A and B are shown apart, each in its own frame.
Chain A
Amino acid sequence: MAGPLYIADNEGAVLTVALDGLSVLFHQPSGMTHIVAPPAPEILAALQAGPADAPELLRRLRALYDFEGDEAEDALHARLDELEAAGLVRRA
């Protein structure tokens, strides 16, 4: 059963400043500022290649990073929920 497809705005829509381990993001369409920790910026970057469901997103991230532990999918879903609540990610 296919899960939802997630979309992030084009990188140009979000101003990012890295500050000691966290990033502050200004999302121009909404005017809102978010303070985010990894893996949020990495997820947003991975979505630049186009909409993806959670398994596809996990594949894109695995190509670049290693994960610890077995709960990658659960964790990814939690992160996507947070990003969606903040308006940084939405469903296609």
Chain B
Amino acid sequence: MSGTDKDQAGGSAFVPSRRTVLVLGAAAASTVVTVRPALAQAAGSVMNCEIPVPGPHAGGQYIAADGNLVAPGTAGAAPPLPRALKGEEVKALLRNGTTPAGTDPTSAQAYANYIRRLQSGMSGFTCYASLQARP
């Protein structure tokens, strides 16, 4: 660093003549990443998992286009799936929009959004979390 030596009480101090620029970053930037528990990579060798759509808590409710649960028969809402989706099917659905076998293509988006909204503690969450980091 360039600068001048200055004598000060108690000893000399080196004062830089150019200060460091601190980049505060754009408002939308991300500068803090928290390390989360990661079952994902190991889960690939661990699980052959399933996600029920919707989970048992839904009690027959239908799934709206945005993934929320709504009253059965609501116009535009998708019916519950009779079988749970396998991990690979969910991956294809979320990545490519591939409709799972035996399901209605117009409902695929609703099912995908339901899965994306799964929270910890809900049936299928661990499966969903394990699919996230896999190729």
Within 8 A of B (CB), among A57-91: 61, 64-68, 71-72, 74-79, 82-83, 85-86, 88
Task: Tell me the complex Cα distance, A32–B32, Å.
Answer: 12
Interface string of A30-67 (1 = CB under 8 A from B): 00111111111010000000000000000001001111
Task: Tell me the complex Cα distance, A39–B25, Å.
Answer: 8
B interface SS class: loop
> Is B24 a contact partner of A39 (Cβ separation < 8 A)?
yes
Q: Given contacts A64-B19, A65-B19, A66-B19, are A82 and B31 in contact (CB under 8 A)?
A: yes
> Is A82 a contact partner of B20 (Cβ separation < 8 A)?
no
- Using C-beta atoms within 8 Å of the partner chain, give the interface range for chain B: 10 to 19
> Is A75 a contact partner of B26 (Cβ separation < 8 A)?
yes
For chain A, the count of residues having a C-beta within 8 Å of the partner chain is 29
> Is B33 a contact partner of A36 (Cβ separation < 8 A)?
yes
Task: Tell me the complex Cα distance, A92–B68, Å.
Answer: 36
Residue of B nearest to A26 (CB): B35
Within 8 A of A (CB), among B19-69: 19-35
Chain B residues closer than 8 Å to A78, beta-carbon distance: 25-29
Chain A residues closer than 8 Å to B31, beta-carbon distance: 36-40, 79, 82
16 A-B residue pairings within 8 Å (CB atoms): A33-B35, A34-B32, A34-B33, A34-B35, A35-B35, A36-B31, A37-B31, A38-B31, A40-B32, A64-B20, A65-B20, A65-B22, A67-B22, A72-B24, A76-B24, A78-B25
Which A positions have Cβ atoms within 8 angstroms of B?
32-40, 42, 61, 64-68, 71-72, 74-79, 82-83, 85-86, 88
